[in-house]
A and B are shown apart, each in its own frame.
Chain A
Amino acid sequence: MSKAINIITSTIVPLHNENVDTDQIIPARFLKATSRDGFGKNLFRDWRYENDNEATPKKDFVLNNALYAGKILVAGKNFGCGSSREHAAWAIKDAGFDVVVSSFFADIFKNNALNNFLLPVVVSDEFLNRIFEAVENNPSTELTVNLGEQSITLNETRATETFDINNYKKTCLLNGFDDIDYLLNIKPEIETYEKEHFN
């Protein structure tokens, strides 16, 4: 299965909170695995369940609301702040999301997301509010994220905005390339560099 992403059209899961930190995305007690799989079921664990119990979902939390589903998570500013745990990106991807939209991302989370083909899309505060309003009026609201064109569009109103991503990362995501493949390919250059660096 190709990891590549390009155009994603989907309904939205709106998470109004700001400063969503990685301890909320995946609490530390779930970091004890030695594989990358299965973190999705503990995504937002302590916001999702009463007393850490899957039998008692918190009704007011968006992931427990049948009205909302989709591949696009939309959240308030400073999403992913806190620890460097890549488990946060793994959990979101594992829960079925391909895109996270916010007006601001923490740096390490952004890198981790990109390394896992989870596209972080930065929008203006105004556009973020438009998405939240649209989905509040109509939970079936769809967004289209077009990586090739670097655009994000509310399908119903055609309201649209462009987003930034560096060309290298864009190429990687469009083609399913990993950074590590690039780095392994330039190992001779790294060895040459080392000779001078440690001289």
Chain B
Amino acid sequence: MDTATTNKDAQGTPLGAGGHTLFDKIWNKHIVKTIEGGPSVLYIDKHLIHEVTSPQAFAGLDKRGIKVFRPKQIVATADHNVPTLNQHLPIKEELSRLQVEALTTNCANHGVELYGLGHPYQGIVHVIGPELGFTQPGMTIVCGDSHTSTHGAFGAIAFGIGTSEVEMVMATQCLLQSKPKLMRINVEGELNEGVVSKDIVLYIISLISASGATGYAVEFAGSAIKRLSMEARMTICNMSIEMGARCGLIAPDETTFSYIKGREFAPKGEEWDKKLAYWKTLFSDADAKFDTEITIDAKDIEPMITYGTNPGMGIGVSQHIPALAEVEAKEQASYEKALQYMGLEAGSNIKGQKVDYVFIGSCTNSRIEDLRMVASFVQGKQKASGVEVWIVPGSKQVEAQAIAEGLDKVFEIAGFQLRQPGCSACLGMNEDKIPAGKYCISTSNRNFEGRQGPNARTLLASPLTAAAAAITGVVSDVRELI
């Protein structure tokens, strides 16, 4: 039996009758049909693509002799393996160049808008979607990249997909999906000084683990979340995947609406009014039920840093790395292996750990507010000798804005390198790799073994904590330096 469910939920309750979560409201509106005993056909409003996970999908369409079904609902950019220096020159690395060229050819053949290298809108796919107003509340958004969860900050269902699914969306604008369970994480109260949204999300992951939200869509709520800017909210939703979540989302509000208004693809005129009225209905009803609910006191969060090889291995910067005895017996072997990789001692302090590289960038923390935060902290200061500092803006627009505000001068005086936009050292697909054995304090999202280069050692932190380490040369408590 197929069920059309555009205005009712799965139980037949009309939408708007209460009891619905934010997730339910969006999900239900996008069900084309449901296969009995199986998944639903979920309609996808927007699709972002990049050079790494799309070529095999385009090849699949070409093999079937079909074209992209709704090219206007796709935006493409080159970000994962582009160089961050001399972007006006041809890409030196041959395989990277071929992949970027394949994207250009594929987009041209299928009528897909491409913001490639040199375009004023080029940038990391999860930075440009929001900044162009392509990302809007109530939408379903996918991309062949797990950090697609970023877009959930606007009150959208946004999630990463594999290349076979990229091909399905290109071919039909739909995916077969099973509904995840729902979790709400409330962060209540005032944040301490020196604590920013990256610290909130690293704290949550350290509490519930890198798989604590697997199988769930997570709604972030509470007074501390409400007070965050859009960019800070994006950092939190970005890392929902690092707790295993299928997606993360935050109910849209005035902060969301004023961010979107006037952007390139934002609705205009009457269309804006119509959309806005709809967006205002997107929140979890007071009597909505979640499968799991967690409440966190913002006061408990201090500047965070990771010491291990998954994002759940994080501590407050003033705390010590757990001693072996503090780790569950069956986890001890993995734990020792992680610390051995990191070259760190169980039970020791993380504060004072020497740092070789500082990377400020990635879809997690490369937006203008991140760069402003770093600049206002380092203004008039100098980087420590022996530390290399890379600032990689998330997009051409972020880069232009940073220069317009004179942040480039602040960075230059401090001895920081302001590079050109791309994913860069977050995953080291281009030349921006951290050498083996070196420590990099990074504002990115993953500290997996080899993530930033073979045998590179990653310490994840906020832009503020990363900037503090750039100045002192060691892991530092930013609260002592403000």
A residues with CB within 8 A of B: 16-19, 21, 23-24, 27-29, 31-36, 46, 52, 76-78, 81-87, 89, 104, 106-108, 111-112, 115-116, 166-169, 178-180, 182-184, 186-187, 189-190, 193-194, 196-197
Contact = CB atoms under 8 A, between A and B. Distances in A.
B396 interface: no
B77 interface: no
Nearest to B166: A86
A183 to B, nearest CB: 4
Interface stretch (B15-23, B33-41, B461-469): B33-41
Given A24-B448, A84-B144, A169 B429 contact: no
Contacts of A78: 210-211, 214, 244
A112 B333 CA distance: 29
5 contacts: A77-B211, A84-B146, A87-B163, A108-B160, A190-B43
A67 B269 CA distance: 69
* Most chain A CB atoms below 10 A, which of B37, B162, B163, B331: B162
B59 A23 contact: no
Contacts of B244: 78, 81, 106-107
B366 interface: no
Given A31-B80, A34-B98, A183-B41, 12 more contacts: A19-B310, A23-B427, A27-B450, A27-B454, A28-B80, A31-B429, A81-B244, A85-B52, A167-B37, A180-B167, A180-B171, A187-B69
Contacts of A183: 41, 168, 171-172, 174-176
Across the A-B interface, the 10 shortest Cβ-Cβ residue pairs: A168-B38, A86-B162, A84-B160, A32-B95, A112-B162, A34-B55, A115-B164, A183-B172, A167-B37, A84-B146
Nearest to A51: B454
B95 A179 contact: no
Contacts of A28: 80, 427-429, 451
Contacts of A32: 52, 81, 95-96, 98-99, 429
Given A19-B211, A106-B244, A168-B35, A179 B53 contact: no
A102 to B, nearest CB: 11
A180 B450 contact: no
A197 B168 contact: no
A69 to B, nearest CB: 24
Given A29-B429, A78-B214, A111-B162, A168 B53 contact: no
A86 B32 contact: no
Nearest to A105: B214
Given A78-B211, A180-B171, A184-B171, A86 B163 contact: yes
B168 A107 contact: no
A35 B422 CA distance: 23
B457 to A, nearest CB: 14
* Most chain A CB atoms below 10 A, which of B144, B244, B455: B244
A92 B55 CA distance: 20
B165 interface: yes
Contacts of A115: 162, 164-165
Interface string B166-208: 0110011111101010000000000000000000000000000
Contact of A194 (B43, B95, B160, B337): B43
Interface size bracket, B side: 35 or more
B223 interface: no
A83 B179 CA distance: 20
A183 B427 CA distance: 33
Contact of B38 (A19, A23, A167, A178): A167
Given A18-B334, A19-B334, A52-B454, A166 B167 contact: no
Nearest to A167: B37
A194 B174 CA distance: 11
A52 B174 CA distance: 40
Nearest to A21: B448
Given A111-B162, A115-B162, A184 B172 contact: yes
B6 interface: yes
A84 B454 contact: no
B446 interface: yes
Contacts of B96: 32
Contacts of B451: 23, 28
B145 interface: yes
Nearest to A179: B176
Contacts of B39: 166, 168-169
A178 to B, nearest CB: 8
A21 B427 CA distance: 13
Contacts of B66: 184
Contacts of B146: 82-84, 108
A24 B246 CA distance: 21
A17 B334 contact: yes
A72 B427 CA distance: 29
B43 A193 contact: yes
B43 A82 contact: no
B429 A180 contact: no
Given A108-B160, A190-B172, A166 B449 contact: no
Nearest to A104: B211
B215 A86 contact: no
Given A21-B310, A106-B214, A84 B171 contact: no
B296 interface: no
B384 interface: no
Given A23-B448, A35-B59, A187-B172, A179 B164 contact: yes
A31 B451 CA distance: 13
A193 B4 CA distance: 9
A128 B96 CA distance: 40
A61 B310 CA distance: 20
B11 to A, nearest CB: 20
B224 interface: no
A184 to B, nearest CB: 6
